[in-house]
Amino acid sequence: MTTHFSRRHWLTTTATILGSSPFWAHAAEKSAAPRFELPALPWDAAALDPVISASTIGQHHGKHHAAYVNNLNRLLPSSPLMDASSLVDVIQRSARNDAQRAIFNNAAQVWNHTFYWQSLRPKGGGTPPSELAKRIDADFGSLAALREATLSASTDQFGAGWVWLVLDKTQKKLAVVKTGNADTPLTQENLVPLATIDVWEHAYYLDYQSRRKDYAAAVFDKLLNWDFVAANLAKA
């Protein structure tokens, strides 16, 4: 499997994720609930070594991410959401609905994880594309300040969760936000997710044990997919 992806590839992928079309969903007939599939990784499982090991990727993608997909497919047929048009539709309709919390948790985790895989790339990190770098400087002061905000959010998130680089449409600025458990910026109309770092323990514990900040720093410095960020921002 190739580990090189063009900017056009990332733009196409981003349109799929943020669009309203069905998200790995297909139904044999309109009366059937959509079935979601575990998406393939955008790179080989060993491609992120030594920052994230193939063992971690195997467990994270093949066990945890797959379990969320399987759980969602099990829960949807008996729910009012069996007519959902896409994964995003499932997430937004089940958010803040206690009766559908299990569906939300699994649907959001399917989306969050797929977005996370695309937020990473082999030999990533480094300097963002020039226009994105200018925007980061304008909104954070510097790339170093964005890095510090990301690491602070990673360590400040109590328990499981996610750290996101987003566009805040209300403030018209880039921002770093954190969410707990399965929560996602998709449920907030003013936020457009641009990239994410998974800070659940299963994302890093085999490689970093309790050193979550070291993991987040390594992802930011060596794996963050700035082309994916730039593509998402361009479509926001």
Map out the domains of the chain as residue ranges. 7-119, 130-235
Q: Could you check whether the bond before residue 185 is cis, i.e. omega within 30 degrees of 0?
A: no
Tens digit of each residue's pLDDT, the chain (236 residues): 333 333 333 334 444 444 433 344 444 344 466 689 999 999 999 999 999 999 999 999 999 999 999 999 999 999 999 889 999 999 999 999 999 999 999 999 999 999 999 999 999 999 999 999 999 999 999 999 999 999 999 999 999 999 999 999 999 999 999 999 999 999 999 999 999 999 999 999 999 999 999 999 999 999 999 999 999 999 99
Three-class SS state of 79: coil
CA 220 vs. chain centroid, Å, equals 14
Write phi, then psi, for 80 (nearest 5 degrees): -70, -5
Alpha carbons 11 and 126: distance in angstroms, whole number: 20
Query: What distance in Å separates the CA atoms of residue 161 and residue 201, rounded to the nearest whole number?
Result: 9
Buried b (16+ CB within 10 A) or exposed e, 133-153: eebbeebbeebeebbebbbeb
Helix or strand (DSSP H, E) at 25: strand 25-26
Q: What is the pTM of this model?
A: 0.88
Amino acid at 30: K
| Strands lying side by side in the sheet with 191-198 | 173-180, 161-168, 191-198
Q: Determine contact, residues 94/106, Cβ cutoff 8 Å.
A: no
Amino acid residing at 160: A
Report the distance separating Cα 84 and Cα 52, nearest Å.
Answer: 35
Instruction: Give the homologous superfamily in CATH for domain 130-235.
Output: Iron/manganese superoxide dismutase, C-terminal domain (3.55.40.20)
The DSSP-derived string for 2-49 is: -----HHHHHHHHHHHHSSS-SSEE-SSTTSPPEE-PPPPSS-TTTTT
